[in-house]
Structure 1
Amino acid sequence: MMLCVLVFLANCKGDHSIASEEFTPSVPQNGKVEGTIFAKNGTKPIGGTLVFTIDQENRVYHTYSDSDGKFSLTAPEGNTTLHIQTGDGQNFRTEIPVTIKKNETFTVAAADSKLNQVAKMAYVKGSYDEIESIITRLGYTVTEITYQDLKNLNTIAQYDIIFLNCGSRNYTQTGTPTPGNDYNVYSNLSTFVSNGGSIYSSDWASAYLVGGNTNTEHCTAPGGFINDNLLCLKDTGTAGTYSNCSVSNASLATAIGFNALDIEYDMGAWEKIQNYDPAFWEVLVQKGNEPLMIRTGHYTNPSAPQTPVGTSLNNNHITICHHIPNDNNITITINQNAWNAHQTHGDTLGPCTGNSNNGNIYYTTFHNHATGNIGETAPILEYVILNL
């Protein structure tokens, strides 16, 4: 009888081992995908680009390109899509089908790893700043609009990004007189940002943000759409070189490959930031405690009318905050058909920082000079363009 009991127990133990092995899910095997991210021109490497894949369980595997544009990503084997994005992925992104094989490295061809433009961009011509020259040099397209066009909400609502060059408020051409304070423009820009549009503004173009005529001469200048308690500027800068400036934003410093630089201000009366609200603005570049380049994703006007802004190419994509256990969350733009699966993982709609429905505002006290001699600020301005 004891022998029978021992045999019975042995058989039970053996059956349990087999059952456990049969129902243990297989562990996916990893491979690598690598390459170099380029601007659309195919020659300029882009640092700080988010590169990721999503597996069948909607887990995200991600990395960033270095300052030379190079990346290497470990991810599960199988057929997948490689996503390449800057900013939150709404304005610039590329999707590449790749096959990742166990213990092998897949190299993406340079012709396939160019960062594509999704956004529709416009600029207002300036007297001292030509950000459009950097945009086109990178291989992207931007449309010139006039100061008068800013008075028409339907016109500017076609675009995702508007670049306001320094001197564009006193640039004259046929049919475009030197502008005074125009509250129509301020209201339209406020509505544009509140509905998801993004703005680049440099130096004297601060008048669009906080008020003034051709530029901002004092902190309580009339006009603008950003409250004076959030930002104060005066045109008291002097011509010369600002030495030992620091890139205070870690992501920007990694993307461009340096964290200190000299900035040449080739003209006087440039706008110096006197005061700012650190809860509203993030400082990206500074000299000592003086901000030289700032951005915000917090602007919204609850009274602004809700109106569609930007290109229809984003209609089937949404921006979400992907939550990573014990790690920094990341903002990604995905096909909206995948949203339900991501939502069950705890992801949330909208970017990880800022407001979910509004755009970004970048303000720089420096710009690309008419002579083109901009030195190390060039990669900083390229970063601004691609991360608006």
Structure 2
Amino acid sequence: MKKQLLILLLSMLTLVSCSDDSNNSSGQKTGKLRGKVTTINTHKAVGGALVFAFDDEKNIYYTYSNATGDFELDTPIGDRVVHIQTGDGSNFRTTINLVVQENQTQQLEEASLRLDQVARVAYVNGSFDNIEDIIASLGYEAEQITFSQLSDYSIVSQYDIIFLNCGSISGNIATNTTVTNNLGQFVTNGGSLYASDWSVAYLIGGDTNTSSCNETGGFISDTTLCSVNNGGSGTLNASITNAALANAIGLSTLDIEYDLGSWQKIVTVDESFWEVLVRDANTNEALMIKTNNFFDQSLVGSRVGNSQNSDWITICHVPDENGSEPITITIEAADLQSHLDHGDTLGSCSAVGTSGTIYYTTFHNHANQNIGNSQFILEHVILNL
């Protein structure tokens, strides 16, 4: 009963519109927008999507969709562009042009609120999981590339997101500095990575997996993460420690089934470098982590990814003096100067330099498909890279 009450409270909080820069108290006239954010083809609800619009002074009015995809937003009257974004908005986003009427509530058509994929996405085929199946179940597209193609940066740099399935490493990754250097360069220049289970070896070294701390290889410092391939099969009760994630999927705890005989346990993690999103509820050990902190100045080059993103720029929007936190959004390049004049800055509010996001999960969608509620987490990861 307590768990149900918590989920209800989280959902209610999400439906409360935020107007970080709004001057409603100074007489700003608004109307109300309501709607439901869904995926592009399969029309699944998207929780945790950022929905926002600006007034004429580039002050932001925003809210987040709840676990059922529903939102309600107070918006300045007049001709407005409403943005729907997940992650930082560089990979999945939708815009809507409409007229907001004073003191009127508009119920927006669901067809106009479907989240578009603007990222070019790749995955490396694995032996023990298939993240591409979940991507497809959401209605989005991913292209298969081979492990050997990771050695060619001209191929790697074409993508915005690369998914590294468990069991996708061929040979000893510790000696394959070309692959790991390419992945480090990819992230430094804005690319985002997902790695699951044994694929932690791409990040911190090892063979096809990682059997001890401080193994040779990888591009992430061993001081930030140690993972050892000694996890046993069974069910773990997990707690979602990131409030935004819990709110987006409507769960604060869940059971995660580990059906392989040896999975990569996270032994130590530097929480100033990695954010822990999911933990073992009994041992407090990290089960899923995320970082925007990897950046190698020596690898800085051209921004990676899909050319259709070249007219869009990620910024850190700075609210006025009401104490609200800065918020990362992606805007059209033509609007950049007006945002800079407002006090916004280039790049993500949380990332270092031009770096992209890395997610690492110790769990995945298994060979026997015994994934349960952890699918909701993986769906959220896909849309927030």
User: What's the TM-score, normalizing by structure 1?
Assistant: 0.89
Residues 1:293 and 2:288 aligned together: yes
1:220 shift after superposition: 2.0
Gap regions ≥5 residues in structure 2: 1-25
Q: Tell me which residue corresponds to 2:207.
A: 213
Q: Tell me which residue corresponds to 1:240.
A: 234
Residue 150 of structure 2: SS of its match in structure 1?
A: helix
1:307 shift after superposition: 2.8
1:42 shift after superposition: 4.1
Residues 1:112 and 2:105 aligned together: no
**Correspondent of 1:269 among 259, 262, 266:** 262
Residue 288 of structure 2: SS of its match in structure 1?
A: strand
Residue 380 of structure 1: SS of its match in structure 2?
A: helix
My pick for the range that moved more, 301-310 or 210-219, is 301-310
Q: Tell me which residue corresponds to 1:381.
A: 378
Residues 1:61 and 2:61 aligned together: yes
8 A contact 2:42–2:137 mirrored in 1: no
**Counterparts in 2 of 1:8-87, with a 5 A limit?**
27-87=27-87
User: What's the TM-score, normalizing by structure 2?
Assistant: 0.90
**Correspondent of 2:189 among 190, 195, 198:** 195
1:327 shift after superposition: 1.3
Residue 279 of structure 1: SS of its match in structure 2?
A: coil
Q: 2:316 and 2:68 mapped to 1: Cα distance?
A: 27
AA in 2 matched with 1:211 = G
1:179 shift after superposition: 6.8
8 A contact 1:99–1:106 mirrored in 2: no
Residues 1:355 and 2:352 aligned together: yes
My pick for the range that moved more, 89-98 or 330-339, is 330-339
AA in 1 matched with 2:313 = I
Q: CA RMSD in A?
A: 1.4
Q: 1:267 and 1:27 mapped to 2: Cα distance?
A: 60
1:41 shift after superposition: 2.0
Residues 1:93 and 2:86 aligned together: no
1:212 shift after superposition: 1.1
1:101 shift after superposition: 0.7
Task: Show structure 1 runs of 4+ deviating over 4 A.
Answer: 177-180
Q: Tell me which residue corresponds to 1:338.
A: 335
My pick for the range that moved more, 55-64 or 127-136, is 55-64
1:56 shift after superposition: 1.3
8 A contact 1:42–1:111 mirrored in 2: no
Residue 235 of structure 1: SS of its match in structure 2?
A: strand
Gap regions ≥5 residues in structure 1: 1-25, 171-176
Residue 57 of structure 2: SS of its match in structure 1?
A: coil
8 A contact 1:41–1:137 mirrored in 2: no
Larger Rg: 1
Task: Give per-residue Cα distances to partners, 1:236-293, cap 9 Å, x unaligned.
Answer: 10000112x1000010000000111111100121001111111100000001420000
1:43 shift after superposition: 2.2
Task: Give per-residue Cα distances to partners, 1:161-200, cap 9 Å, x unaligned.
Answer: 0000000114xxxxxx787731110110011001110100
Q: 2:58 and 2:208 mapped to 1: Cα distance?
A: 51
Residue 344 of structure 1: SS of its match in structure 2?
A: helix
Q: 1:263 and 1:42 mapped to 2: Cα distance?
A: 25
Q: 1:178 and 1:133 mapped to 2: Cα distance?
A: 27
AA in 1 matched with 2:199 = A
